[in-house]
Amino acid sequence: MTTSYDLAVIGGGVIGLAHAITAARRGHRVVLIERERRANGASIRNFGFITVTGQERGQSWELARRTRDVWAQIAPEAHIPVEQRGLYLSARSPEAIAVIEAFLATEMGEGCRLITADEFRAATGGLGSDDLHGALYSPHEIRVESRHAIPLLTQWAGEVLGIDIMTETVAFSSVPPRIDTSRGVITAARVVVAPGDDFSTLWPDRIAAYGLRRCRLSMLRLADPGMRLPGALMSDLSLTRYAGYAALPEAAALKAKLLAEQPRHYDNGVHLIVAQGGDGSLIVGDSHHYDDLPGPFAPASAEDDIFDEYVRALGRSPPPVLERWVGTYASAQDRTFLVDTPADNVRLVIVTGGTGASTGFGIAEAVLNDLMGDA
Ligand SMILES: Cc1cc2nc3c(=O)[nH]c(=O)nc-3n(C[C@H](O)[C@H](O)[C@H](O)COP(=O)(O)OP(=O)(O)OC[C@H]3O[C@@H](n4cnc5c(N)ncnc54)[C@H](O)[C@@H]3O)c2cc1C
Rounded to the nearest angstrom, the distance between the alpha carbon of 48 and the centre of ligand 1 is 11
If one residue of 14, 55, 170, 361 were mutated to test the ligand 1 pocket, choosing by the most ligand atoms within 8 A of its CB, it would be 14
Does pLDDT of 211 surpass 90?
Answer: yes
Q: What is the mean pLDDT of the segment spanning 42-68?
A: 98
If one residue of 47, 219, 350 were mutated to test the ligand 1 pocket, choosing by the most ligand atoms within 8 A of its CB, it would be 47
Rounded to the nearest angstrom, the distance between the alpha carbon of 24 and the centre of ligand 1 is 21
Check residue 110 and give its pLDDT. 97
| 217 Cα nearest atom in ligand 1 | 1
- CA atoms of 192 and 11, how far apart (whole Å): 9
- CA atoms of 59 and 65, how far apart (whole Å): 10
If one residue of 9, 15, 328, 347 were mutated to test the ligand 1 pocket, choosing by the most ligand atoms within 8 A of its CB, it would be 15
- CA atoms of 167 and 149, how far apart (whole Å): 17
Q: What is the mean pLDDT of the segment spanning 113-124?
A: 97
Per-residue pLDDT tens over the stretch 152-193:
999 999 999 999 999 999 999 999 999 999 999 999 999 999
Q: What is the mean pLDDT of the segment spanning 331-342?
A: 97
Assess contact for 10 and 33: CB atoms under 8 A.
yes
Q: Which residue's C-alpha comes closest to atom 26 of ligand 1?
A: 196
Per-residue pLDDT tens over the stretch 260-273:
999 999 999 999 99
| Sign of the CA dihedral running 147, 26, 162, 19 | negative
Check residue 363 and give its pLDDT. 98
pLDDT band for 111, please (50, 70, 90 cuts): very high
Assess contact for 290 and 213: CB atoms under 8 A.
yes
Check residue 164 and give its pLDDT. 98
Beta-sheet pairing, 113-116 with 134-143 = antiparallel
Check residue 374 and give its pLDDT. 85
pLDDT band for 2, please (50, 70, 90 cuts): low
Rounded to the nearest angstrom, the distance between the alpha carbon of 43 and the centre of ligand 1 is 4
Q: Which residue's C-alpha comes closest to atom 37 of ligand 1?
A: 195
Assess contact for 195 and 201: CB atoms under 8 A.
yes
- CA atoms of 189 and 76, how far apart (whole Å): 31
Average per-residue pLDDT in the chain? 97
Does pLDDT of 223 surpass 70?
Answer: yes
Q: Which residue's C-alpha comes closest to atom 38 of ligand 1?
A: 195
Q: CB of 86 closer than 6 A to ligand 1?
A: no
Check residue 3 and give its pLDDT. 72
Secondary structure string (H, E, C) spanning the chain: CCCEEEEEEECCCHHHHHHHHHHHHCCCCEEEECCCCCCCCHHHHCCCEECCCCCCCCHHHHHHHHHHHHHHHHHHHCCCCCCEEEEEEEECCHHHHHHHHHHHCCHHHCCCEEEEHHHHHHHCCCCCCCCCCEEEEEEEEEECCHHHHHHHHHHHHHHCCCCEEECCCCECCCECCEEEECCEEEEEEEEEECCCCCCCCCCHHHHHCCCCEEEEEEEEEECCCCCCCCCEEECHHHHHCCHHHHCCCCHHHHHHHHHHHCHHHHHCCCCCEEEECCCCCEEEECCCEEECCCCCCCCHHHHHHHHHHHHHHHCCCCCCEEEEEEEEEEECCCCCEEEECCCCCEEEEEECECCHHHHHHHHHHHHHHHHCCCC
Does pLDDT of 56 surpass 90?
Answer: yes
Does pLDDT of 288 surpass 60?
Answer: yes
Per-residue pLDDT tens over the stretch 293-326:
999 999 999 999 999 999 999 999 999 999 999 9
> For residue 249, how many other CB atoms are within 10 A of its CB?
9
For residue 104, give Cα distances in angstroms to 54, 95, 114, 237, 359: 11, 14, 8, 18, 21
Q: What is the mean pLDDT of the segment spanning 194-223?
A: 98
